[in-house]
Amino acid sequence: TDAPATDAPGARPEAAQSARALFTERFDAVPLGTWSAPGRVNLIGEHTDYNDGFVLPFAIQHRTHVALGTRADGVIRVASTFADDAVEVPLAELNALFPDGRETVAEWARYPLGVAWALQRAAGRDPVTLVGVDLAFASDVPVGAGLSSSAAIEGATASALAAIWGIDLDRTALARVGRTAENEAVGAPTGIMDQMASMLGRADAAIFLDCRSLEAEVIDLGFADAGLELVVIDTGVSHSHATGGYGERRAACERGAEAMGASALRDVSVADLERAQELLDDVTFRRVRHVVTENQRVLDTVAALAAEGPASVGPLLVASHASMRDDFEISVPELDTAVEAALAAGAIGARMTGGGFGGAAIALVARDGVGAVTDAVTAAFTDAGFAAPTIFTVAPSAGAARD
Ligand code: ADP
Ligand code: MG
């Protein structure tokens, strides 16, 4: 049977209303307003962020919305459709709670409370001077599918609190607040790509981010005008060794950079790879080659988009996947199957996206070929004995905003 790609799963125009409804249900009051921030897909540039390199993500139409109201007692209270109970903390205690006391906070609540903590710290504000708030979250962003629901909740929270507390930080600073929350209050050692994409996203555009300087440039994608769709194939696989694998890859990159006398692999060029091969053991060399060539592919993608338009980036996506599969060794059979089946069914390009060991693949597909790619991938998963993937299209969309 057909499994046509949908515009979601679950990107709902009424999601802001869900946050307002949750607010009223949990807090028995009417919110002052709602803010929201999107998830993201990384078009190309994988494992380049922590090597001071380049990435090219875009914000998607799936968003996390937060309804906000103020309260007179200096308490911050957070509620989510994910959790039965609200979590509350006096603002005056945030600096005692994070980072050392984070284990005492329900894990999901560390994201919004961690943002509140990081925001007042970044703004140099004494928390006792800030007005108390109630926050209620509702989201369309699938969790753990590699679409960064974490950056979405961080971006929504940072935007809402900055507005209500009169904190005048720019979008890059708010992205940093999100990363600080995720690194220190949640305890996840992530880069800043996701938060930058969620804060800076624009319709029909990607964010070309230099992870060393944090300079960001909005790059027109033109998918719609070229008649192209970006299809996400969520394999549903989340491998238990993702954390260990990530640490091993980071360590190999640091080893490789040091042996090359570079402060980061960003400073190693494709022309340097011959010397790298002489200096490094085989595994470290292949890890280095992935990062160095992937950085170059991001630059080449930006150049190709400008010169020839989006239909020209297919081979770069395919080369990115091969490099992750063969050199960085972070793919899994489900991701390889998704990419191969999509390409065989006519996709212009396809690659796994995200940290690896599971998660999602993306495919760039002509609009009238989306059905064929969806059917081919679904059939290939059935033939291989894999659980059915979730397949949907995403559109490059606007970043965090008041709704
Ligand atoms: P992802 O790839 O989706 O970003 P992460 O593990 O980084 O996966 O972040 C997912 C976590 O973020 C969830 O397990 C939850 O703790 C938190 N989270 C995301 N969205 C929400 C939400 N709307 N309400 C509550 N918690 C959320
Ligand atoms: Mg995340």
* Active-site entry in 52, 194, 327, 375: 194
Mean pLDDT of 80-87: 95
Instruction: Check pLDDT > 60 for residue 4.
Output: no
Residue 194's pLDDT band (cuts 50, 70, 90): very high
Per DSSP, 103 falls in state G
What pLDDT is recorded for position 240?
A: 61
Given a contact cutoff of 8 angstroms between Cβ atoms, the answer to whether 256 and 284 are in contact is: yes
What is the complex's ipTM, to 2 decimals? 0.99
What is the share, in percent, of the chain residues with pLDDT greater than 90?
Answer: 90
Name the residue of 65, 80, 153, 394 whose CB sits within 8 Å of the most ligand 1 atoms, as the mutation to test its pocket: 153
Displacement of CA 258 from its chain's centroid (Å): 28
Instruction: Check pLDDT > 60 for residue 7.
Output: no
Q: Which atom of ligand 1 is the closest one to the Cα of 148?
A: 4
Residues with CB under 5 A from ligand 2 (ion): 148, 150
Instruction: Check pLDDT > 90 for residue 339.
Output: yes
Instruction: Check pLDDT > 60 for residue 293.
Output: yes
CB neighbour list of residue 62: distance below 8 Å, 6 or more residues apart = 8, 10, 11, 38, 39, 139, 140, 141, 142, 147, 152, 394
Instruction: Check pLDDT > 80 for residue 13.
Output: no
What pLDDT is recorded for position 142?
A: 87
For residue 396, whether the previous peptide bond is cis, meaning omega lies within 30 degrees of 0, is no
Closest residue by CA, ligand 1 atom 16 = 108
Give CA–CA dist 66/156, Å, rounded. Answer: 6
152 or 189, which is more confident: 152
User: CB of 143 closer than 6 A to ligand 1?
Assistant: yes
Kindly give the distance from the C-alpha atom of residue 297 to the centroid of ligand 1, in angstroms, as a whole number. Answer: 30
Residue 241's pLDDT band (cuts 50, 70, 90): low
What pLDDT is recorded for position 140?
A: 92
Q: Indicate if 194 belongs to the active site.
A: yes
Closest residue by CA, ligand 1 atom 27 = 108
Kindly give the distance from the C-alpha atom of residue 316 to the centroid of ligand 1, in angstroms, as a whole number. Answer: 30
Q: Which atom of ligand 1 is the closest one to the Cα of 108?
A: 16
Mean pLDDT computed over every residue of the chain? 94
User: CB of 159 closer than 6 A to ligand 1?
Assistant: no
Per-residue pLDDT tens digits for 304-317: 999 999 999 999 99
User: CB of 150 closer than 6 A to ligand 1?
Assistant: yes
Amino acid identity, position 340: E
Structure tokens at 320: 């990115």
Per DSSP, 152 falls in state H
**Backbone Cα Rg of the chain:** 21
Q: Decide the pairing of beta strands 75-80 and 132-139.
A: parallel
Spatial strand order of the sheet with 57-71 comes to 87-90, 75-80, 132-139, 57-71, 33-42, 401-402
Give CA–CA dist 275/218, Å, rounded. Answer: 35
What pLDDT is recorded for position 238?
A: 83
